[in-house]
Amino acid sequence: MKILVADKISPKGVAYLRQQTGFEVIEAYGSSPEQVLELVKDVHAIAVRSETKITRAVLEAAPLLKVVGRAGVGVDNVDVDAATERGVVVMNTPAGNTVATAELTFTHILCGARPVAQAAASMRAGQWDRKSFSGIELFKKTLGVVGLGRIGGEVAKRAQAFGMRVLAYDPYLSPARAKAMQVEPVTLDELLAQSDYITVHMPMTDDTHHMIDEAAFEKCKKGLRIFNCARGGIIKETALIAALKSGKVAAAGLDVFEDEPLAKDSELRSLPNVVLTPHLGASTTEAQEAVGIEVAEQIADLLVSGAVRNAVNLPSVDAATAKLLAPYIDLGTKLGTLVQQIASQQVATLRITYAGKIVDLDANAITRSIERGFLRRISEDVNTVNAPFVLQRLGIQAEVVKSNSPCDYAELITVEAVTGSGEVFRASGTLIGKTNEPRIVSINGREVEVAAEGKLLVLENLDQPGMVGAVGTLLGKDKVNIADMSLSRLTPGGTAYMVVRVDTEPSEAARKEIKGNPAIKQAKFVQL
């Protein structure tokens, strides 16, 4: 079997592949897109970093291709959807750069406290200026860590070694996990108000984009020092520039930017109190060696034994079983995503209950799809393989129940998110018709009937006349088309549920107006 190493990975990784019986390894670094199209015609695996683009055209030109291995976390250079369509497994190596990125973050924190980079530049210019480069200490200061995943956790450990108080904002961090890590869980507003230093370690999502903006800086202490080695765009750059100029922010360190490479005329380059690095998070010898070896081992395992590790697009099952389970996996993913968006943020247990004919199936792949669905808006590197470990890292216990109790459907999947105080958020779904279309049939104990796809408005409102018209009119005014609607209530005059499937996302103003209606107790916009 041929393996194309399209980008330069660790020589130890290449050597590992060459040592495997029956492998022919082709090293073709720096190939043009046209050359890649020619090289992939008879390869079974491709190893890349971030340079080579694995496009739909590349995948279509590679009929024997089984796996694309990315030596690193992000798979932006791989068309994952096209790979999935063609049955190609896409793997990444999410753990290899953890320490490297944490250490770079802490390097930025130290440079923010003591202006080493600026002082070094002054010395090179022939100056001896001690007065201009006075700094502050880390000892007994407060560090706010926004996002306590793998990298955020490693940064917290290093801060504690420097005698810092560590605050953590992570909506999905359980109290037990926070206690074990010796950090103080707080709200984002509390973290902004109390921190002397802030570092962000969140994935880039709709919720985290510009999380730190003008309003956030207003809540911070004067003289804050802030750092981003995660993803560009979490900190709004225009807001940061203004805060640096005003003195609200005393220093900043950035390894990532909203647009990369950073424009030559970016104002960030001219500010004296900013240290900039060109996206070096994983750029250490050890990290590159680790991900190179890891991707080589994963590719070999799949080609030799069919074992799948760190796949970002497929469950770990054989092809025949995957075909059988495909509609259940689709339903499970959407139920997990739905429950995550309607649930409280402090989830302690994710409970999955199977009922009806589905209990006779091996539901492991379905369970993984539900877990991935629950996590996919929380963690950027989650997949069906590592989802249980991400849940464990967040302190969320997973429970699976196969119920023999009678149910109203031939088969039913129920997903429940249970908080530490016992509050339960749940959704149930089933498959209907000859085409096995996924349907949501219950949300928080209310019977509904809605297709499990697209965009949903989930409303809990007082059961009174005019509510359907009021919501419909408001959406119409916002030019949002209603695809279908399901209504449910327990008792007349009590509370009712309205689930509205829409073609487009309502504007922020429309959502605010909906939530402002005194008859609407709760409103959630859900994207499946």
What is the tally of structural domains in the chain? 4
pLDDT of 385 > 70? The answer is no
256 belongs to a structural domain = yes
**What is the tens place of the pLDDT at every residue in 78-103?**
998 888 777 788 999 988 889 999 99
Nearest to 450 by CA among 493, 486, 401: 486
Together in a domain, 160 and 249: yes
C-alpha–C-alpha distance, residues 195 and 197, integer Å: 5
Question: Which string of DSSP letters, residue by residue, matches 315-341?
Answer: -SS-HHHHHHHHHHHHHHHHHHHHHHH
Q: Which of 18-22, 96-100, 201-205, 217-221 has the lowest mean pLDDT?
A: 201-205
Residue 325 maps to a domain: yes
Instruction: Give me the sheet containing 495-502, strands edge to edge.
Output: 482-489, 495-502, 455-462, 520-527
- Domain range spanning residue 431? 315-453
Q: Are the CB atoms for 242 and 274 separated by under 8 Å? A: no
If asked whether residues 319 and 445 sit together in one domain, one would say yes
pLDDT band at residue 168 under the 50/70/90 scheme: very high
Beta-sheet pairing, 455-462 with 495-502: antiparallel
- The answer on 129 and 148 residing in a single domain is yes
Query: Does 333 map to a domain?
Result: yes
Positions marked catalytic: 231, 260, 279
412 lies in the same domain as 468: no
Is 38 in the same domain as 84?
A: yes
Judge if 370 and 508 occupy the same domain. Answer: no
**What pLDDT is recorded for position 406?**
86
Mean pLDDT of 198-221: 93
Domain boundary among 267, 297, 312: 312
CATH number at residue 441: 3.30.1330.90
**Burial, 322: exposed, middle or buried (Cβ in 10 Å; 0-12, 13-18, 19+)?**
middle
Does residue 393 share a domain with residue 304? no
Residue ending a domain, choose from 256, 276, 296: 276
Q: Domain with 478 in it: what CATH number?
A: 3.30.70.260
- Output the pLDDT for position 433: 85
Same domain, 250 and 143: yes
Residue 340 lies in a domain: yes
The answer to whether residue 220 scores a pLDDT higher than 60 is yes
Is position 344 within any domain? yes
Confidence of residue 76 (pLDDT cuts 50, 70, 90): confident
Q: Quick one: 216 and 365 in the same domain?
A: no
Do 397 and 495 lie in one domain? The reply is: no
Q: Is the pLDDT of residue 307 over 80?
A: no
Instruction: Give residue 321's pLDDT.
Output: 64
Determine the Cα–Cα distance for residues 514 and 523; give it in Å rounded to an integer.
7
Q: What is the pLDDT of residues 453-506, one digit of tens each?
A: 888 888 888 888 888 998 899 899 989 899 888 888 777 878 888 899 999 888
Query: What does the pLDDT read at residue 127?
Result: 96
Condensed to tens digits (0 to 9), the pLDDT of residues 230-285 reads 999 999 999 999 999 999 999 999 999 999 899 999 999 999 999 999 999 988 99
Is the pTM higher than 0.75? The answer reads no
The answer on 106 and 244 residing in a single domain is: yes
Question: Is residue 282, in this structure, part of any structural domain at all?
Answer: no
250 and 104 belong to one structural domain: yes
AA letter at 146: V
- Model pLDDT for residues 20-60, shown as the tens digit of each residue: 999 999 999 999 999 999 999 999 999 999 899 999 999 99
Of 37-41, 75-79, 342-346, which has the strongest mean pLDDT?
37-41
- Domain of residue 202, CATH code: 3.40.50.720
Domain assignment of residue 183, yes or no: yes
Q: What is the pLDDT of residues 308-338, one digit of tens each?
A: 778 887 655 554 566 778 899 999 999 999 9
Please report whether residue 281 resides in a domain. Answer: no
